[in-house]
Amino acid sequence: MVKIDGKVAIVTGGSRGIGSAIAKELAAHGVKVVINYNSSSEAAEAVVKEIEQAGGTAFASQADVSDAAQARVLVEETIAKFGQLDILVNNAGITRDRTFRKITEEDWSSVIDTNLSSVYNTTAAGLEHIQKSDAGRIINISSIIGQAGGFGQTNYAAAKAGMIGFTKSLALELARGTTTVNAICPGFIDTEMVQAIPDNVREQIVAKIPQRRFGAPEEIARGVLFLCRDGEYITGQQLNINGGMYM
């Protein structure tokens, strides 16, 4: 088990949903958390306040991580604030779901840039600092859709599958050091995105999940904690947290 108390983490897309749960879980175990957000400043500050009230340390940092320059600033702010970076959780993501014939160039590029190019941007900016840590962790939040595909989600599936390939390749490059690189592939998690699905469609999705329920954001967060704290010998892997929907 690695001591993570006092380590520093960036969680992109950390203001809500899975990202918020990850930030809170890490903070509860002594990690100083930088909650990155793009536009939802109130939500990000609410997460910071909740963490601080529980005795943790966090601050919110605005950056559109699909832009390489802003990703560099995010890392620079983290180093200026805490002097180190140990853990990077690439969680930022959007959807623009449409059948392929209806997908526009903007639909394609916005999803690829936000979900996949951001992983390159933040990792490129932060890797030098992460490799200095004795507990360096890069954790990419992919998706079951990147493994199995999804109707009307060619852009999202391509981005999430790309995250998996990125994870495996970088893990090989870094394997001789102490930095591990892994992906978590959530199934259908009970976040705002899933809650917006019509009830009849939600029922159809649940019927396909062997455990007959949606996952909770906190279950993904505990997966991140496991990889940070107990994952010294785990790298290049996909941790599937999906209720048995894809094996």
Cα distance between residue 118 and residue 133, in whole Å: 22
Do residues 9 and 26 lie in contact, with contact meaning Cβ atoms separated by under 8 Å?
A: yes
User: Measured between alpha carbons, how far is 55 from 146 in angstroms, rounded to an integer?
Assistant: 36
Closest-CA residue to 11 (of 76, 94, 85, 111): 85
Q: What tokens does 175 get?
A: 């394997």
SS (H, E, C) 164-178: HHHHHHHHHHHCCCC
Look at strands 137-141 and 180-186 and give their pairing.
Answer: parallel
User: Please, where are the H alpha helices in the chain?
Assistant: 17-28, 41-53, 68-82, 105-112, 118-130, 144-148, 154-174, 192-195, 199-208, 217-230
Structure tokens at 87: 């853990």
Asked if 156 is an active-site residue, the reply is yes
Of these residues, 37, 120, 156, 233, which one is catalytic? 156
> Residues 215, 188: contact at Cβ < 8 Å?
yes
Q: Report the DSSP beta bridge partners of residue 138.
A: 88, 181
Task: Give the single-character DSSP code of 209.
Answer: S
Residues serving a catalytic function are: 156
